[in-house]
Structure 1
Amino acid sequence: MWYDQAMIYLRGEPMTTSFTVKNLLDMPLFRGVEVLAGAQGLSNEIFYVDCMETPDLTGWLRPNELILTTGYSFRFEPSMLCRLLDEMHRVGGSAVGIKTKRYLQEVHPEAIELSNRYGIPLFDIPLDVPFMDMTRSIMDQILQRQAYLLKEVHEVNQQFTGMVLNRKFSELVILIGKLLRCEVAILNREGEVESCTADYNAASGVENRPVFTGNRIFGTLSLTRKLEDGDHFEKMCLDHAVMALAIEFTIRQAQQLHRSREQELFAAELLSGGVSRQEDLLRYRAKHLGIPYGGFVYVMALRASCPADTDSETVKTLHSRLAEEVNRDSGGQRRLAVEINDRLLLICAADRPETGKQLETARKYKAELEARASRIVGTDAAAMIVRCGIGAVRGQYADLHASCLEARQALAFGEQAADQPEVLHFHDRLVEHLLMDVAGHPLLEQLHGELIQPLLDYDGEAGTELLPTLEAYLKSGSTKQVAEELFIHRNSVLYRLERIRELLRTDIHDPDIRFRLDLAIRYGQSRKIKRVCPQL
C-alpha cells in the first residue's frame, strides 16, 4: 500500500492528506458558499476549527485555524473584523467564515482589502447551516486525513526499520530518495559519502539533516531539494528516515565497539604471550579482527609526558583517547593501538626486518601522536613529549610478546636516562637488556660496588658530577668532546677524571678497566630500571 502511494507521489500525483480551504468549500455542506475575498488563500491548510463570538482576539488564535462567526461581536464595530484578520495574519490563520445575513448584512470594505492582501479567505456561510454541523463535518475530514497520513507513514517507518534490521542499507537510501522525490546521500562524520542514489552530486545538496545517536552526530542525510513546508507526508517521511538512520548508526557503533573489544582482548593475549602456539590459528583470528600483518610484526611502546600543570585525570585517560583515535583513523597504516598499564602499545606490520625502517616509522608515529595528544590535552604541541621504545621484528604472532617486552624495556631505558633519545630501539641497548636478566648476580653486584658506588656516594655528599663525567668519557674517549657535552672547561674534565682515578684507585685509561667501568655503569642502569619496573 505505502509503496504504491510512494509511486503515485513519484509520478506527480499529490497525496490528499492535507485539508485546505478549497477542500472545505467542496464539501456538500458548503457548496454554493460565496468567497467574499482572499481567494488566493484557498490552498491554506486547516488544522483546527473554532467559533468566535467574543471581542477579545489576542492570545487564543492558533496557526492554520478556521474561524466561524455570526459577526455578533463586531455588529456595531465592523472594523473589529479587520483586527481579527490582522491577528490571524500574525499567527498564520487559515480562513474566516461569517454568517453575514445574521447581523452584518455586508462586510466592511477595509476587511475585504485586508483579506485580499493577507491571502486569508473570507466566505459567507448560509444562515440555515448550524455551526454544530459545520464543526463536526470539518473535524471528521481533518481527523480522517490525519489518520490516513499516520497510517501511511507508519507503514513507511516499518519498512525503513525492516531494511535497517535486515542490513539493507543501500536499498534504504534508494527508497528514501524515491519517497522524497530527490537524490539523497548518507554522509559520515567526516562528510564522506557512505551511500547515495545514482545521480547524487555533492555540489547539489541543498538540505542536510544531522543524524544523532545520543547527543553525538554520527552522520548526515543530504537532499538535493528543499522540502515544501506544507507537505506533511514528506516531512514525516524525512523524520522517520533520520530515525531509521540513527538506528543504523547505533547498530554500527555497537558492532564497532564489539569488534574493538575483541581486538583489544586478542591483542592483550598476543602481547602477554597467553595465546596458543598454533600460528595458523593465530593468523586466522588476526585476519578476522583486522590485526596488522605484513610478513613481520613488532611492537612499539609509547608514553606521553604531559605538562606539569595537567590534572591527573586527563593524564590517566590520554593514552586511551590516543588509542581510540589511532584505531579509528589509522591513515592507511598497518597498526593497532591498545592501552595497557599506562602505556600505548602499537602492533605494527613490516614487510622487511629493517631496524632503520622501524626507527623511521616510529619517528613519524611519534610526531603524529604528539600532535594528537596536544589537541586532546589542550596544550602547545611543543610541551608534549612522546617517548618510544621499539621491539625487534618477529615472523610469527606467537612470538609477538617477546617484541612487546623488548619495546617496554627500551622505553624504560629511554625514560630513566636523561641523555637517551626519545625514540630508542631494543638493539641499541642489547647489553643493558642482557644485564636486566641477571640483575642481582653476585659478581656484577661486586663490580658495581667497587667501581660505581664510590662515585655515587661522593657525588651525593659533595654535590659533584663525577659519574656523569665518567659516562661521557667512556662513550667518546675525548676530554674535549666531554667538555662540550657537559658545558664545562676542558681543565674541569681533566680534574674530575683525576679525582675519579684517586677514588677508585685504578687506571681509568686502561682498556680492561674501561670495559669493566662501562659494564658496571650499564649494570647500574639496568638494576635501577628493574627496581622501578619490576614487571620487566
Structure 2
Amino acid sequence: MEPPVRLASTGTITHGVSVGEVLGVSTLAGARLIAGERGLGRIVQRLNVMEVPDILAWVKPHELLLTTGYPLRNTPQSLGRLVADLDERGLSALAIKLGRYVDELPAEMAEQADRLGFPLIQLPDDVGFDDILNQVLTDILNRQAAVLARAEEAHRALVQVVLAGGGLNEVTAEVAHLLDVSVAAVDGSGRVLAAAGPAGGGGHMSVLCESLTHEGPPAAEADGARRRSFASVPVLAGGHHHGRIVAYSPSAAIGDSDVGILERAATVAALVVTRQEAVNAVESKYRADFLRDVLTGRAGTVERVTARARAFGWDLARPVTVLVAELDPDGDERSAQDRLVACWTAAIRRHDPRGAVAGFSHEVVAVVDASADVSKVAKDAACAFADAPPATFSTGTSRPCPGAETLPDAYAQALKAARVGRQLHGPGAVAHFDQLGVYRLLSLVNDTDELHAFVRETLGPLATDDDAENADLRRTLQALLETNLNVAETARRLHFHYNTLRYRIGKLERLLGGFTDDPHLRLNLTLALHVLRMRGI
C-alpha cells in the first residue's frame, strides 16, 4: 500500500475582502478614512459590533469592529490605548460613528493608527449596522465561494493530470496555465525537475529558483489585496521532504488563493513523486539483479550482456573499471544504504552517463569508463554522503578490464580492495587493487587466530604494546627492513645518530634473532609487521 500523502501548510491562507474593498461597498459610500491608510490591505473575514467596554475578550483576528462609541462614553481616556490593543489581536480595522456618544477621536489615537497601519473609519450617521453587516458579509461569502470554486476547478484539472499518467512536467504546465505565472518543481537540493510558463525556457529561471530563499514581504497592490512575486510550498509524502513547488510572477500577481492552488499542486506532485519512486524501486531491482548476474558470470553471452546493458543505458562493451563501496561497520545500515546508492548514482551520472551503478544488500557497485578519474568519482560520492553523518563507507577499485567477459574478476578485485583497504587505513578508505601488494595474500587467511600466533612467534615481546618502548623499536625495525638494512639511510629517516641506531640494531637482534644475516627471518618479520598494520585482524 502506498504511504499517505501529507501536505505541509505554508501558513494561514485568508479568503476575504480587504479594508479598501470594504470601503467601496454602497452602504459605506459616505464613510471617511480618518487614519491608518497603510492598512487598507488588511483582510476582513468577519464583522463584530462593540457593545461592551471589555470588547478585547471577544474580538478575533481579521475582524472589522463596528461601534457607536457607546461603551466608551464614560471612559474616553481608554480610546488612546484601544488601537494598539486591537492591532495586537490581529483586527483589520475599527469603524466608529462620531457625534452621538463620542464627539471626536483623540489625536493620540489617530497618530497611533497611522504608526501601526491600523485603519480608523468614520461611519455615516444614516447607515445602520445591519446594512453594513449584510452587504460586507455577502461580499466575503461571495469571494470565498469564488475562491473555493476556482480551487475545485484546479483540483479537478490536477487530478486529471495524474489519472492520465502525467508527471511533474504536466503538473507544472497545468499550474502555469491556471495561474498565468512561471512554475517549477525542484528537489531537496534545489535542482529543477520540471518547469513551465515564461521561466520554463528562458532567462527568468534563475529568478524563479531564487524564490526558494525569498523572504521579503508580499508586495501590495493598489486595491490593498495581499500579493507577492514569489511563492513556495513544500512537497511532502510519506513523512519525507521531496522538494518544493515554486512560482514567480514579475508583476507581483500571486495572491493567497493562488498559493492555495500551489498547495493542491504540491499534493498532486507528491502523488507523482511517490508513484515514480515505486517505479524506480522496481527498475532499480531489475538493474541490480542484472548487474549482479553480470558480476557473478551468470548473465549469459557477452552479446546478450551488452544488449541488455544498453537497454539500461549502460555501455559494458568498452574498457571499464569496477568500483565497490561498502558501508563501514557501526553505521545505521538500514537508513544509510539507500542514501549510499543515491550518492553513487548521482556521482556516476556526472562523471560517466553510460556507466552502470546498482545497490546490493551490503554494497554499491559501479562500472565506469576505464579512462574516468575513479578517485574523483569516489570523492564526489563521499562528499555527498558526508552531508548526513555519522555513517562512512570504504571504496575499492579494480584493475581496468577490456569488457563484459572479465567483469567478474574485476568485481572480485574491487571487493577485495574495499575490504583490505578498510583493514589498512580504517573507515572511509579508498584503495586500488594494484596497491594492496602482499596484503592481498594476507587477507586470504581466514584464520585470524593463526595470524595472531604468527605475529607473536615472530615478533616476540614486540608483538604487543605492554612496554612503551615496543612501538618505538617496531618503527626502527620497519625502517631497517624498508631500506634493506641500510644503516645510514635508516638513521637519516629516523633522525638518529649512527651509533644510536647500531645500539638499537643490537637490541633488536637480541630480542628477535640475527635478522641482519638471515633473509628468511627478515621476510617473516616483514610479514608480521604487515599483519599488525591490518585493522580488524
TM-score tier by shorter-chain length is 0.5 to 0.7
Residue 243 of structure 2 is matched in structure 1 by 218
Find the aligned partners of 2:481 and 2:42 in 1 and give their Cα distance: 94
Contact 1:389 1:408 in 2 (8 A): yes
Contact 1:282 1:398 in 2 (8 A): no
Residue 141 of structure 2 is matched in structure 1 by 143
Find the aligned partners of 1:498 and 1:72 in 2 and give their Cα distance: 111
- Are 1:237 and 2:265 an aligned pair? no
- Are 1:324 and 2:359 an aligned pair? no
Secondary structure at the aligned position of 2:56 is classed as coil
Contact 2:16 2:43 in 1 (8 A): no
Deviation track 1:388-422 (CA, whole Å, cap 9, x = no partner) reads: 5433444454642332223333455556679xxx7
Shift of residue 257, structure 1, vs aligned partner: 4.3
Shift of residue 78, structure 1, vs aligned partner: 6.7
Could you tell me which of 398, 401, 408 is aligned with 2:408? 401
Range with bigger deviation, 154-163 or 468-477: 468-477
Find the aligned partners of 1:314 and 1:211 in 2 and give their Cα distance: 27
Distance 1:409 1:527, change over 3 A: farther
Residue 300 of structure 1 is matched in structure 2 by 323
Distance 1:265 1:134, change over 3 A: same
Secondary structure at the aligned position of 2:123 is classed as strand
Shift of residue 143, structure 1, vs aligned partner: 2.4
Residue 275 of structure 1 is matched in structure 2 by 298
Deviation track 1:204-253 (CA, whole Å, cap 9, x = no partner) reads: 75535142323536235141447569x44334234334444444444444
Could you tell me which of 31, 56, 68 is aligned with 1:35? 31
Find the aligned partners of 1:22 and 1:470 in 2 and give their Cα distance: 91
- Are 1:109 and 2:126 an aligned pair? no
Report how many residues are paired. Answer: 468
Could you tell me which of 361, 366, 369 is aligned with 1:347? 366
Distance 1:293 1:439, change over 3 A: same
Contact 1:208 1:221 in 2 (8 A): yes
Find the aligned partners of 2:327 and 2:160 in 1 and give their Cα distance: 46
Distance 1:66 1:432, change over 3 A: closer
Contact 2:188 2:241 in 1 (8 A): no
Distance 1:176 1:521, change over 3 A: same
Secondary structure at the aligned position of 2:322 is classed as strand
Residue 9 of structure 1 is matched in structure 2 by none
Find the aligned partners of 1:399 and 1:280 in 2 and give their Cα distance: 14
Shift of residue 333, structure 1, vs aligned partner: 1.9
Distance 1:226 1:485, change over 3 A: farther
Matches within 5 A, 1:114-513: 114=110, 118-124=118-124, 126=126, 131=130, 135=133, 138-164=136-162, 166-167=165-166, 169-194=168-193, 195-199=195-199, 200-203=204-207, 207-213=230-236, 214=239, 216=241, 218-219=243-244, 221-225=246-250, 227=252, 231-271=255-295, 273=296, 275-291=298-314, 293=316, 295-302=318-325, 312-313=330-331, 321-330=339-348, 332-334=350-352, 344-351=363-370, 361-365=373-377, 367-368=379-380, 376-377=388-389, 389-397=396-404, 399-412=406-419, 425-426=432-433, 457=457, 459-460=459-460, 479-480=486-487, 483=490, 489=501
Q: Which runs of 5+ in 2 are unaligned?
A: 1-14, 211-228, 464-469
Residue 92 of structure 2 is matched in structure 1 by 93
Find the aligned partners of 1:187 and 1:412 in 2 and give their Cα distance: 38
Q: Percent identity?
A: 17
Structure of greater Rg: 1
Contact 1:66 1:94 in 2 (8 A): yes
Find the aligned partners of 1:455 and 1:68 in 2 and give their Cα distance: 93
Shift of residue 167, structure 1, vs aligned partner: 2.0
Find the aligned partners of 1:154 and 1:73 in 2 and give their Cα distance: 44
Find the aligned partners of 1:481 and 1:266 in 2 and give their Cα distance: 58
Amino acid at match of 1:50: N
Amino acid at match of 1:270: V
Distance 1:302 1:476, change over 3 A: farther
- Are 1:59 and 2:57 an aligned pair? yes
Amino acid at match of 1:123: L
Residue 466 of structure 2 is matched in structure 1 by none
Find the aligned partners of 2:134 and 2:290 in 1 and give their Cα distance: 69
Contact 1:276 1:398 in 2 (8 A): no
Contact 2:455 2:528 in 1 (8 A): no
Find the aligned partners of 2:379 and 2:273 in 1 and give their Cα distance: 32
Secondary structure at the aligned position of 2:105 is classed as helix
Find the aligned partners of 1:241 and 1:114 in 2 and give their Cα distance: 44
Deviation track 1:281-309 (CA, whole Å, cap 9, x = no partner) reads: 43344344455636133423456779xxx
Range with bigger deviation, 478-487 or 259-268: 478-487
Contact 2:461 2:511 in 1 (8 A): no
Contact 1:455 1:500 in 2 (8 A): no
Find the aligned partners of 2:319 and 2:406 in 1 and give their Cα distance: 11
Find the aligned partners of 2:445 and 2:492 in 1 and give their Cα distance: 32
Contact 1:182 1:224 in 2 (8 A): yes
Residue 7 of structure 2 is matched in structure 1 by none
Shift of residue 154, structure 1, vs aligned partner: 1.2
Contact 2:234 2:244 in 1 (8 A): yes
Amino acid at match of 1:176: V
* Structure with bigger RCO (C-alpha 8 Å, 6+ apart): 2
State the TM-score, normalized to the length of structure 1.
0.63
Find the aligned partners of 1:390 and 1:51 in 2 and give their Cα distance: 78
Deviation track 1:44-76 (CA, whole Å, cap 9, x = no partner) reads: 654212333222222322344344556543566
Shift of residue 173, structure 1, vs aligned partner: 3.0
Find the aligned partners of 2:493 and 2:57 in 1 and give their Cα distance: 84
Find the aligned partners of 1:455 and 1:45 in 2 and give their Cα distance: 82
Distance 1:236 1:277, change over 3 A: same
Residue 215 of structure 2 is matched in structure 1 by none
Secondary structure at the aligned position of 1:332 is classed as helix
Amino acid at match of 1:147: A
Distance 1:44 1:107, change over 3 A: farther
Residue 7 of structure 1 is matched in structure 2 by none
Amino acid at match of 2:460: G
Find the aligned partners of 2:337 and 2:42 in 1 and give their Cα distance: 59
Find the aligned partners of 2:78 and 2:430 in 1 and give their Cα distance: 85
Find the aligned partners of 1:336 and 1:426 in 2 and give their Cα distance: 20
Deviation track 1:69-117 (CA, whole Å, cap 9, x = no partner) reads: 565435666777777666555533345365x8xxx65862327994996
Contact 1:209 1:222 in 2 (8 A): yes
Secondary structure at the aligned position of 1:277 is classed as coil
Distance 1:407 1:108, change over 3 A: same
Find the aligned partners of 1:110 and 1:369 in 2 and give their Cα distance: 69
Distance 1:211 1:105, change over 3 A: closer
